Amino acid sequence: MKSRTVHIVGAGGLVGASSAAALLAKPGSWNIHLVDIAAELVSGQALDLNDATAFLADTHVRVGEYKDIRADDIVVITSGIPRRADQSRLDLIGTNAGIMTKVVQSIMAQGQPVFIFVVSNPVDLMTRVAIEVSGLPSERVFGTGTTLDTARLLVAIAGELKVPPSTIDALVLGEHGDSSVAAFEAATVSGQPLTKLPQYSLEWAERITNDIRAHARKIIETKKSTHWGIGAVVANIVEALTLEQGQTFPVGVMASGQYGLSDVVLGLPATVSANGAKILPNYPLTAAEIGALQDSANVLQQTWADYKSAQHSTEKR
Ligand SMILES: NC(=O)c1ccc[n+]([C@@H]2O[C@H](COP(=O)([O-])OP(=O)(O)OC[C@H]3O[C@@H](n4cnc5c(N)ncnc54)[C@H](O)[C@@H]3O)[C@@H](O)[C@H]2O)c1
């Protein structure tokens, strides 16, 4: 089997290293290159993670450099500061947009048509920065969007109904943050509509929605960062990027008219395959869910506009 090279920028940190660890559990042959400005830290992560490859057929982990990037490689970006429990993800925009810009410029300086997969927060806006700076086609640049929120929803519903998460089909869409939208009307459990189950009620759905929105803050309060769940999300989407047959994830993509949304990056139903990420235009959302999705898009548009005008006034000074 052809080995795939995945570069993880920011891999000295918890999210990047956990993503590499989760990728080691995926079948196939991987070359995992860890890139970080913290040279000592990333060399330690590479040595430690490479020990785990002893039990695999043909997978290697080492410290990488931008000049190793080749056409169609997958570049995962986790560099940037994480939020504190008293912060929103949107509070990180100034610092992390500067880091994202430099990282994407370094990637693009290699002149290769790569796939850029953004994880750093606020992930929807950082994906937008990566799209702007890279100039790559939109199917090649996308973010984790609401895939982690969706993972949390599946685990929460599974816990309530006492069924395996794999029997549930449901998506959270919109901002990876407080305005996210859980699309309950299309959700199914073993093929049956979730809304027809006796346990379902609007209050029940609202409680679960609030729980998953508060979930990350709870983890950050106890152990300062969330990294195992997002690591699993990254590994599953990276694996999908190596396969011909598409898989559906609510990744962060640039909308161009779908669901009444344009010129905004947010979590939308998309097919991820070896061709990149492509928005699914016909996911069955109700009018109320589309309205909530548009409200979520407005939150992101406003934050983006504020960031752009702050950037403009700094440049003028
Ligand atoms: N998308 C999601 O769902 C999701 C979930 C969890 C965390 N995150 C985000 O992931 C990011 C990383 O979190 P973390 O806990 O790993 O943080 P961390 O502080 O542990 O790691 C960040 C790493 O980025 C590196 N870095 C900084 N500037 C760099 C540059 N210019 N080039 C290369 N590397 C650089 C740092 O040296 C550090 O090792 C945060 O923004 C966090 O909010 C996203």
Helices (H), the chain: 14-24, 39-51, 93-108, 123-134, 147-161, 202-223, 228-240, 287-316
This prediction has a pTM of 0.97
Task: Give yes or no for residue 48 having a pLDDT over 80.
Answer: yes
199: number of Cβ within 10 Å: 10
Q: What is the pLDDT of residue 317?
A: 67
Tokens for 58, please give them. Answer: 């043909």
Q: What is the pLDDT of residue 74?
A: 98
Contacts of 186 (CB under 8 A, 6+ apart): 170, 171, 283, 284, 285
Counting from 1 in the atom list of ligand 1, the atom nearest the Cα of 14 is 16
Q: Which of 31-35, 110-114, 143-147, 304-308 has the lowest mean pLDDT?
A: 304-308
How many angstroms does the Cα of residue 255 sit away from the middle of ligand 1? Answer: 25
Do 130 and 97 touch, CB atoms closer than 8 A?
no
Task: Give yes or no for residue 141 having a pLDDT over 70.
Answer: yes
Counting from 1 in the atom list of ligand 1, the atom nearest the Cα of 149 is 3
Do 227 and 239 touch, CB atoms closer than 8 A?
no
Q: What is the pLDDT of residue 311?
A: 81
How many angstroms does the Cα of residue 197 sit away from the middle of ligand 1? Answer: 40
Confidence of residue 244 (pLDDT cuts 50, 70, 90): very high
Please name the residue whose Cα sits nearest to atom 24 of ligand 1: 79
Say whether 176 is catalytic: yes
Task: Give yes or no for residue 44 having a pLDDT over 70.
Answer: yes
Task: Give yes or no for residue 258 having a pLDDT over 80.
Answer: yes
Q: What is the pLDDT of residue 83?
A: 87
Binding site membership of 253 for ligand 1 (Cβ less than 6 Å): no
Please name the residue whose Cα sits nearest to atom 11 of ligand 1: 120
R_g over Cα of the chain: 19
Euclidean distance between CA atoms 293 and 288, whole angstroms: 9
Work out the average pLDDT over 235-241. 98
Q: Which of 11-15, 82-86, 120-124, 198-202 has the lowest mean pLDDT?
A: 82-86
Tokens for 217, please give them. Answer: 């803050």
Binding site membership of 265 for ligand 1 (Cβ less than 6 Å): no
How many angstroms does the Cα of residue 46 sit away from the middle of ligand 1? Answer: 16
Work out the average pLDDT over 38-55. 97
Q: What is the pLDDT of residue 211?
A: 94
How many angstroms does the Cα of residue 128 sit away from the middle of ligand 1? Answer: 17
Binding site membership of 120 for ligand 1 (Cβ less than 6 Å): yes
Binding site membership of 19 for ligand 1 (Cβ less than 6 Å): no
Euclidean distance between CA atoms 59 and 76, whole angstroms: 17
- Counting ligand 1 atoms within 8 A of each CB, the residue from 37, 123, 224, 251 with the most, and so the one to mutate, is 37
Phi, psi of 123 (to 5 degrees): -60, -35
Check 7, 33, 60, 176 and give the catalytic one.
176
Query: Is residue 75 classed as helix, strand or coil in its secondary structure?
Result: strand
Counting from 1 in the atom list of ligand 1, the atom nearest the Cα of 118 is 1
How many angstroms does the Cα of residue 283 sit away from the middle of ligand 1? Answer: 32
